Amino acid sequence: MKILQPKQGNYQLQNYESAKNSFSWDDVRDVFTWSKTGKINIAYESIDRHVKEGRGAKKALLYSDPSRNETYTFEQLKKLTNQAAHMFRKLDVEKGDRVFIFMPRAPELYIALLGAIKMGAVVGPLFEAFMKDAVKSRLEDSEASVIVTTPELVSRIPVDELPHLKKIILVGDDVKTDEKHFSYSKEMKACTDDDSAIEWMDLEDGFILHYTSGSTGKPKGVYHVHQAMIQHYQTAKWVLDLREDDIYWCTADPGWVTGTSYGIFGPWLNGATNVIRGGRFSPDDWYDTIEKNNVTVWYSAPTAFRMLMSTPSDVIKKYDLSSIRHILSVGEPLNPEVVRWGWEVFKHRIHDTWWMTETGAMLICNYLSEPIKLGSMGKPFPGIEAAIIDNNGKKLPPNEMGNLAIKKGWPSQMRKIWKNDEKFNEYFAFEGWYVSGDTAYMDEDGYFWFQGRNDDLIMTAGERVGPFEIESKLVEHKAVAEAGVIGKPDEIRGHIIKAFVVLNPSHEYSEELEKEIKTFIKTELSAHAVPKEIEFTDKLPKTRSGKIMRRVLKAWELNEPAGDLSSMDD
Ligand code: WT7
């Protein structure tokens, strides 16, 4: 099975080719208030607009964790985010100031984040597992003046070392307050819920800063503007295929861009019901969340699918997952093996989507109405021009590997790297193009195939090998749960291929097994792709969005410092 044909259905993007030819971002802008007033606010359009248009009683948020189970309508969220906006004003936050949110997923996180955006602040979501150094570097760089956090996390904020940080808002019961520390619930209670909270913004005003690690240097503050919502809205409509009656679950935390662009804005701009699950979850929790909420559209990541794939199949049999109609993936290469598994157990194709923190929204995707080529990321979203260019900025013909680049100027494109123009300009070194740092090729049908990050590509004995291809093949072996592949310097071959392999619990290491895996790669892929060395390990270093951190594997291998590890999962 190499191509999965679309199922018959009535999809919001029914004809990709004709959409591609006739689509214009300007038409989408007109959906929103901007067309009438020249001003927008992404928080208003996500929440208040639905109340204004008569959908106030609709369920917007279904929240659950082991101790809470709450439902919020659009009307309720409108009031709460108005209160939050007034609260930030009262605490002297002004338009353009940075407000950081550092807490586990909970309704208050979403209310505070939207409230801050509503009154014109630029929000900075921080993942709850960040420790002191990671928190400090981000607050320092952004010069944030206010942070919303919890009593459990507050000790990780070195207030005395952060001269710009003026106020800390604590979410929790009976919190201690002083001239710097405020109680979220008390401050919220003291605020009204009227609409004068809304700050009307220009298309190019900023609303969010997402810090992301590069392969070198300190984390970069990727800055996005309000009109990004045009693309959040349209991609959620055409790729997630979201409608108002959908119950949608994005498993990402808002500390990462997937958890905001598609955990908050994409679904709510389209008026869908958004499921948020707090806490860490086991395979049972994943399936339980889908069953209990009747989730219809599910957006997750290969690492999660692989984890579910490696749990015994009797777990999934306990649950009724028939509510699902559409499954999507992002963050790292989607192995064909995972797509096949998804097809078997869910009877649905898993749709890959490609984009980055810097791109703000999806750019290359698989669509419900289009065939899926297994292993390919799909085709550019209508209105997006993608190409493979060489190291001089010249476009390459189909089937040649090179830099994956995007014609610059899409709505959700980052507008700057906070206080770092030099880094920003590096992405646009070739006239007219944004260069992603990914290597890929485009086939004759216009499908894009991911090969690796530029810095991960392996040259071995004059052959160019993408680690992803080998990793994908390795996990197809019945004994292999996960695999990370790097190039290890070698005097004769330039690099040799080294694989780090996590075995399925049902298998144990033996020399024979190691040989068998190598033969498997040799016979299934090619001789030049066979890992010369395999190291068996319990765990692979990964980012919290699930990407295998090959540079950490490399550093381990070479006994070198691993660099910035703030995005690494514990
Ligand atoms: C990098 C961006 C924005 C989503 C979360 C990750 C890799 C992303 C895919 C995909 C292969 C992918 C790329 C990209 N990536 N999606 N579908 N197939 N690789 O965002 O942390 O900014 O990482 O993730 O290497 O450059 P991020």
Q: How far apart are the CA of 438 and the centre of ligand 1, in A? A: 9
User: Is 471 a pocket residue for ligand 1 (Cβ < 6 Å)?
Assistant: no
Q: Is any atom of ligand 1 closer than 6 Å to the C-beta of 381?
A: no
| Residue 240, pLDDT above cutoff 80 | yes
Q: Which atom of ligand 1 is nearest to the CA of 353?
A: 17
Atom 24 of ligand 1: nearest residue by CA position: 331
Burial 385-408 (b: 16+ CB within 10 A, else e): ebbbbeeeeeeeeeeebbbbbbee
pLDDT value at position 481? 95
Q: Ligand 1 centre from 380 Cα, in Å?
A: 15
* 413 band by pLDDT with thresholds 50, 70 and 90: very high
The pLDDT tens digits for 466-475 are: 788 789 889 9
Interface ipTM > 0.85? yes
Quote the CA–CA distance of 303 and 286 in Å, as a whole number.
13
Protein residue closest via CA to atom 20 of ligand 1: 356
- Which pLDDT score, from 0 to 100, does residue 562 have? 80
Is the pLDDT at 537 greater than 50? The verdict is yes
Q: How confident is the model at residue 545 (pLDDT cuts 50, 70, 90)?
A: confident
pLDDT, mean of residues 277-289: 92
Percent of the chain with pLDDT over 70: 98
Distance (Å) from CA 355 to ligand 1 centroid: 6
Cα of 216 from ligand 1 centre, angstroms: 17
Residue type, 370: E
Res 95: pLDDT: 98
pLDDT tens digit sequence for 47-94: 999 999 999 999 999 999 999 999 999 999 999 999 999 999 999 999
Mean pLDDT within 325-349:
94
Question: Does the CB atom of residue 330 touch ligand 1 within 6 A?
Answer: yes
Decide whether any atom of ligand 1 lies within 6 Å of the 377 Cβ.
yes
Q: Is the CB of 257 under 6 A from ligand 1?
A: yes
| Strand runs labelled E in 362-432 | 364-365, 372-373, 379-380, 386-389, 402-407, 416-417
Measured in whole angstroms, the distance separating CA 279 from the mean position of its chain's CA atoms is 18
Q: What's the whole-number mean pLDDT along residues 108-121?
A: 98
Beta carbon of 300 within 6 Å of any ligand 1 atom = no
Domains, the chain, ranges and CATH?
Answer: 3-440 (3.40.50.12780), 459-558 (3.30.300.30)
